[in-house]
């Protein structure tokens, strides 16, 4: 297996967050065959070529920026369960922490919240960031609930990515986290 190097590996009691790898594509593809990723989809309909290029962009983000979204797994298995981490494609006003759980079977277990907290701590402590957002589709009630659970608040003064109707949630600053 070819892997990105060097990329950090983050841990919690339940989770391992690692760089995305080619073998994660099957789970990413299955996710994109559902209606769940409509907010991040480039086109209205499923197009495997676009999905493949989007996965290549996720991997390439690490090379271009030196940081990027992590695939979350458990200590018991290296199977990718979702993607959580910093993301800022060209033209976006500022970086965000994104989260995706790829399969409904892994929803509701607190994985996204736990992973987002690990990532946020990494961004603030290891990378020296002092602010980060999450861009959320107004109809995505689960993500809104998660953002609020993480202590995020709507930042009405912040701009979202061009062409995306979204709510901009601002994460608490490092000094505001207990």
E strand map for 20-76: 70-74
Nearest to 137 by CA among 50, 55, 38: 38
pTM to 2 decimals?
0.91
The backbone torsions φ and ψ at residue 83, rounded to the nearest 5 degrees and listed phi first, read: -130, 130
Express as a percent the part of the chain with pLDDT over 90. 75
Task: Return the SS3 of 101.
Answer: strand
- In this predicted structure, the answer to whether residue 55 has a pLDDT above a threshold of 60 is yes
- In this predicted structure, the answer to whether residue 102 has a pLDDT above a threshold of 70 is yes
60-80: pLDDT as tens digits: 999 999 999 999 999 999 999
- Greater confidence, 2 or 27? 27
How far, in Å, CA of 163 to CA of 126, rounded?
Answer: 32
The predicted pLDDT at position 110 comes to: 96
Express as a percent the part of the chain with pLDDT over 70. 92
The predicted pLDDT at position 32 comes to: 84
């Amino acid at each position: 297996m070819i892997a990105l190097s060097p990329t950090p590996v983050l841990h919690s009691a339940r989770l391992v967050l690692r760089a995305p790898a080619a073998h994660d594509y099957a789970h990413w593809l299955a996710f994109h065959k559902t209606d769940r990723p409509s907010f991040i989809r480039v086109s209205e309909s499923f197009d495997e070529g676009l999905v493949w290029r989007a996965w290549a962009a996720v991997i390439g983000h690490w090379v271009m920026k030196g940081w990027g979204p992590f695939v979350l797994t458990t200590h018991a298995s290296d199977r990718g369960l979702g993607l959580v981490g910093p993301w800022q494609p060209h033209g976006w006003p500022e970086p965000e922490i994104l989260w995706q759980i790829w399969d409904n079977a892994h929803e509701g277990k607190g994985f996204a919240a736990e992973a987002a907290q690990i990532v946020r701590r990494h961004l603030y402590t290891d990378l020296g960031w002092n602010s980060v957002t999450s861009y959320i589709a107004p109809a995505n009630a689960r993500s809104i609930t998660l953002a609020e659970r993480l202590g995020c608040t709507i930042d009405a003064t912040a701009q979202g990515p061009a062409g995306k109707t979204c709510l901009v949630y601002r994460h608490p600053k490092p000094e505001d986290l207990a």
